[in-house]
Amino acid sequence: MKLNRKHILGLREMSAGEIELVLDTASRMKEILARPVKKVPTLRGRSVITLFFENSTRTRTSFELSAKIMSAEAINIAVAQSSAAKGESLKDTLLTLDALTADCVIIRHPNAGAPEMAARYLKGSVINAGDGFHEHPSQGLLDLLTIRDNKGQIDGLNVTIIGDCLHSRVARSNLYGLQKLGANVTLCGPDTLLPREFGRVGARLETNCDNAVEGADVIMMLRLQNERMDGVYLPGVREYAALYGLNQKRLSKAKADAIVMHPGPMNRGVEIADDIADGDKSVILPQVTNGVATRMALLYLLLGGSEED
């Protein structure tokens, strides 16, 4: 039952079997989160370092909490106050962390490939917590777990991902994971934010949001990244909200038992209407809880032992 790898860099390189092992393990971890005493001793004495070169609340907190629940030592490096801010290179930062004998480094970086580089310099495990527009595997896995919790299985489901697919590592990780588990994936967004390459890996591309939502089992909204709203990709936020925002009228075209997901943080009233974010089809808060369970599973599978049972 050991995960056959040392690092979690992306879902593209993971097999369906490995993904299912993570999901099964995460399901079991959820019970711990419901206990009065949320602590198990299994990773006692292991050190986990979060190294975030980009802002994050939920991902970093979620990893830190997961490590602490499993009794690992969790240390957060605030990059703004670290030597990186004094001009230390990524390589030197990584070599320093290695010399500090970190068992696992969780890294978020604006450049795609930074976690892969980390994996080369570190003796411990590396988990990619988001690199550029590339991947965000723990988010992809927690989304898969949330879909499986609600739908029983993933094979054969119609999953529609709506928003800025071009700049979204969440969309990429989800696309790879969903396809491996047999879902039919539709990506939807304005032409400027919908790369043709996704079509070549088997996703259906759709610029009309109503068509994309039609018959969907799962609708996943992406955050409209304000930092991209410089007028090059989109004419304006209001037009985007009208054409690609999820409202009740649009949602009514999906299957009656469809669920709505969002990786957060949400721009309410832009990509998602208030009454949907807080409505009965929303699984946005269960996604956050599943995030902790998923990260516990990843840490356990990577750090939990050297031999199989």
Partner 1 sequence: MAETNNNTDEKTGRSVMDAGDIARALKRVAHEIAERNRGVGNVVVIGVPRHGVPIARRIAAHLEQIENCKVPSGALDVALYRDDYVRRIVAPQDTRVDFSIDGKIVVLVDDVLFTGRTVRAALDALNDLGRPASVQLAVLVDRGHRELPIRADFVGKNLPTSRYEKVKVLLKETSGEDDVVRIEKTP
| Interacting residues with partner 1 (CB under 8 A) | 1-2, 24-25, 28-29, 31-32, 35-37, 39-45, 70, 300-301, 304-309
3-state DSSP of 214-276: CCCCEEEECCCCHHHCCCCCCCCHHHHHHHHCECHHHHCCCCCCCEEECCCCCCECCCECHHH
For partner 1, which is the closer residue by CB, 16 or 112?
16
For partner 1, which is the closer residue by CB, 32 or 229?
32
Stated as kind and residue range, the H or E segment containing 204 is strand 204-206
Stated as kind and residue range, the H or E segment containing 76 is strand 73-78
Least CB distance from residue 287 to partner 1, whole Å? 21
Order the strands of the 73-78 sheet from edge to edge.
Answer: 73-78, 47-52, 104-109, 125-131
Least CB distance from residue 33 to partner 1, whole Å? 12
Least CB distance from residue 304 to partner 1, whole Å? 4
CA distance 261 to 264: 9
For partner 1, which is the closer residue by CB, 18 or 54?
18
3-state DSSP of 110-130: CCCCHHHHHHHHCCCEEEEEE
Least CB distance from residue 53 to partner 1, whole Å? 31
Phi and psi at 261, nearest 5°, equal -120, 155
Least CB distance from residue 22 to partner 1, whole Å? 12
b or e along 5-28 (b: 16 or more beta carbons within 10 Å of the residue's beta carbon)?
A: eebbbbbbebeeebbbbbbebbbe
Question: Rounded to whole angstroms, what are the CA distances from 298 to 96, 100, 175, 254, 304?
Answer: 24, 22, 20, 33, 9
For partner 1, which is the closer residue by CB, 1 or 100?
1
Task: Kindly state the DSSP code that residue 188 receives in the 8-state scheme.
Answer: E
Least CB distance from residue 297 to partner 1, whole Å? 9
For partner 1, which is the closer residue by CB, 46 or 134?
46
Least CB distance from residue 64 to partner 1, whole Å? 18
For partner 1, which is the closer residue by CB, 6 or 253?
6
Chain mean position to CA 84 = 25
Least CB distance from residue 289 to partner 1, whole Å? 17
Least CB distance from residue 42 to partner 1, whole Å? 4
For partner 1, which is the closer residue by CB, 14 or 72?
72
For partner 1, which is the closer residue by CB, 24 or 278?
24
CA distance 143 to 141: 5
For partner 1, which is the closer residue by CB, 48 or 246?
48
Helix axes 16-33, 169-180, angle to 10 degrees: 110
Among candidates 98, 103, 112, 96, which has minimal Cα distance to 73?
103
Query: What is residue 301's three-state secondary structure?
Result: helix
